[in-house]
Amino acid sequence: MKYGIVIFPSKEIQDEANALRKRYDPRYAHIPPHITLKSAFEMDIPLRDTLVTEIKKIANETKPFTININKVSSFAPVTKTIYFKVEPIPELSELHEKLHTGKFPLDREHAFVPHITIAQDLVEDEYSDVYGSLRMKKVELEDTVDRIQLCYQLENETWTVYETFVFGEEIV
């Protein structure tokens, strides 16, 4: 089964992202707006149980932190994905790093660029028009991150939360 580890931002930020995703993201219905900390990876139940314990430890050691989103950016020319750029901060990088060491699968497809996807899989002309107008959009969003989610993919390719890990909670 495929799993991934993400941060779901506040409803305000999700609403802002979804206003665009409804129109420009064909995977809109598959998962709510999120920041990917660990991309999709395969794991069996014994590994999942081990990693749940590890994620609990990581979450317990992590203090809530603030993220800022101040612009729209793109991964072009690699892909025509348009996103809200989450300002990189040490807390995000440390979380990402901890989820790629030790017992976690170490594979990484790309460098870590914290973001919330708002458009993808656009044809060239549509991409140029959409990105051209969105990058001029004034974006000033702030959020407090105090939890991460382990999600898994269903057969219909939608993602659902397996478990939520709140920062600073004691391991039970």
Catalytic one of 34, 96, 100, 110: 34
Residue 43 lies in a domain: yes
Q: Tell me the average pLDDT across 13-36.
A: 96
Residue 140 lies in a domain: yes
The kind and range of the H/E element at 115 are: strand 115-119
- Tally the domains of the chain: 1
Which residues, listed in sequence order, are joined to residue 116 by a DSSP beta bridge?
Answer: 84
Catalytic site residue 100?
Answer: no
Catalytic site residue 34?
Answer: yes
Strand order in the sheet with 65-74: 115-119, 82-86, 65-74, 141-145
Catalytic one of 30, 100, 110, 115: 115
Residue 171 lies in a domain: no
What confidence tens digit (pLDDT) does each residue in 66-118 have?
A: 999 999 999 998 999 999 999 999 999 999 999 999 999 887 778 899 999 99
CATH code where residue 25 lies: 3.90.1140.10
Per-residue confidence (pLDDT) for residue 107, from 0 to 100: 79
pTM for this prediction: 0.94
Q: What is the DSSP string of 114-167?
A: -EEEEE-S--HHHHHHHHHHHTTS---EEEEE-EEEEEEE-TTS-EEEEEEEET
Per-residue confidence (pLDDT) for residue 95, from 0 to 100: 96
Structure tokens at 115: 């973001």
**What range defines the domain where residue 64 resides?**
2-166
Whether the per-residue pLDDT at 170 is higher than 80: the answer is no
